[in-house]
Amino acid sequence: MKSKYSVIIVVSIALLTGLFASCGKDRWELYYPQTRQSIWIDSVMRENYLWNDELSDEDELTSSYFLNSVSFLAKVKNTNDKMSYVDTACSVPRYQPGFDLSLYPINDSIYMALVTHVEPASSSAAVGIKRGDWIVEIDGKEVTETIVDQLGNGEAHTLAIGSFVTIPATEDEEEQYGIMFDREVELPVPSGYFIEALPAVNVVGIEGGQVGYMLYSDISAEHREKVAAASKSLASSGITDMVLDLRFAATGDVQGLQYLASILAPAQVLGTKMATVKYAESRHADTSLPFLPASELASGENLNLETLYVLTSSETAGPAEMLINCLKTVMNVVVIGQKTKGSVAQACESFRDLNRDQLLRLVVCELTDANGEFSYTGSGFTPDYSAEPFNPIEGIQPYGSPSENLFAKALSVIAGGEEATEEEQ
């Protein structure tokens, strides 16, 4: 039996490779709809991929073209490629409530559910659910694991929302903590939404100045106009200090990294070398990547910072680590939060297939600082000031809130009320 199936497999592959020219006729047009995604990826890789000289010949990939785009990329990419991926859902809506929960037990079966993250374009955000809210009842019932699972059933729900409160000590009682009901929210049937990784901006006044805050996760060129608008807003607020929240930042591309760095860097370095890049030899590209001159920031405005405070987590990776690495050569970068992931020094460019609205993030180069150095691969950046995003619980607040754990730590550092992490002293 085994030999029989081996013959069948060999014959099948032979037939497949002959489909395009059987009977002396050109079959490309017939099979193109089934192969065009992979063929498009292959063509982009042959021109731009860092390891393009190691790609198999087109004739050897004939059967592979019938794979879906994700599977095709996984099959042909280099084993050293840690970052290339295809986003086949770049405009496909999701149908979920749009928030994450952590459950805290009251007894063996009853919980209180803490909202730890809210997607900005979700139906949850639209009805006012915020990070740090506590769900104490769902559809008039106490919170159990079974009830929580029903939030993903695509139906409408009524949520009883509370907030964390501190009950002051009295002569008879010590200080206590609790959850106080404050409102009821009607969560509608989830509608399609897109994950938004665009800048969220806030400005907080402190003694002696204004602290700007920007939450940003996808450091890519397609968000350039949004970054430009954020920079104008921050500049017009007269900020004296800047906090960049990169706790979720792990994706992006070379152009997005270059633009954001040029917005943040000191004005005197604009137009000078920002990074050292190594492309595929066939691309014949420059090995020096500059900070953009002010004239190329379009509607954006350089913030002319001397110090940048960066909020990080164990998820912070890729372009975010490259940004920290490059800026450290021209300004003071203070890292606050958790140690970053420690990804490789590979940088992507973004390519969009307009016919299928597919986004390909492809490794095109190795990117290091202006001196050709990088220190984070494998180890990550150790924070200058350690802070935990989920501890204490009462500090799980909306991003940009002065009482949110990581931002509160940054504000304290800026005010001079914090000591550096021991291993960094």
pLDDT in tens, 186-198: 998 876 544 455 6
pLDDT at 313 over 90: yes
In the numeric block, which tokens belong to residue 294? Answer: 């002010």
| Burial class of residue 185 in the structure, from the number of CB atoms within 10 Å of its CB (0-12 exposed, 13-18 middle, 19+ buried) | middle
Query: Which percentage of the chain shows pLDDT scores above 90?
Result: 60
Cβ-based neighbours of 230, under 8 Å, separated by 6 or more: 199, 201, 214
Pick the residue with more confidence: 132 or 356? Answer: 132
Give CA–CA dist 131/404, Å, rounded.
10
Q: CA separation (Å) from 142 to 101, 136, 138? A: 15, 7, 7
pLDDT given for residue 120 in this prediction: 77
Top pLDDT among 64 and 308 is at 308
Is residue 28 scored above 60 in pLDDT?
Answer: no
The rounded distance, in Å, linking the Cα atoms of 404 and 398 is 7
Q: At what angle do helices 254-264 and 319-327 cross, to 10 degrees?
A: 40
Q: What is the CA radius of gyration of the chain?
A: 26
- pLDDT range class, residue 10, cuts 50, 70, 90: very low
Peptide bond preceding 392 in cis form (omega within 30 of 0):
yes
The predicted structure's pLDDT at residue 194: 45
Residue 60 CB contacts under 8 Å (≥ 6 apart), including other chains: none
120 HSE (CA, 13 A, CB side): 12
Residue 121 has pLDDT above 80, yes or no: no
pLDDT at 273 over 60: yes
Residues in a beta bridge with 40: none
Average pLDDT estimate for 311-323:
96
Domains in the chain: boundaries:
34-81, 99-187, 200-424
Whether pLDDT at 172 is above 50: yes
Would you state the CATH architecture of domain 99-187?
Answer: Roll (2.30)
CB 295 within 8 A of CB 267: no
- 166 vs 130, higher pLDDT: 130
pTM: 0.84
Mean pLDDT along residues 372-398: 92
* Region 200-424: CATH code: 3.90.226.10
Q: Check residue 96 and give its pLDDT.
A: 61
pLDDT at 19 over 70: no
C-beta of residue 172 within 8 angstroms of C-beta of residue 192: no
> Between these two residues, 367 and 151, which has the higher pLDDT value?
367
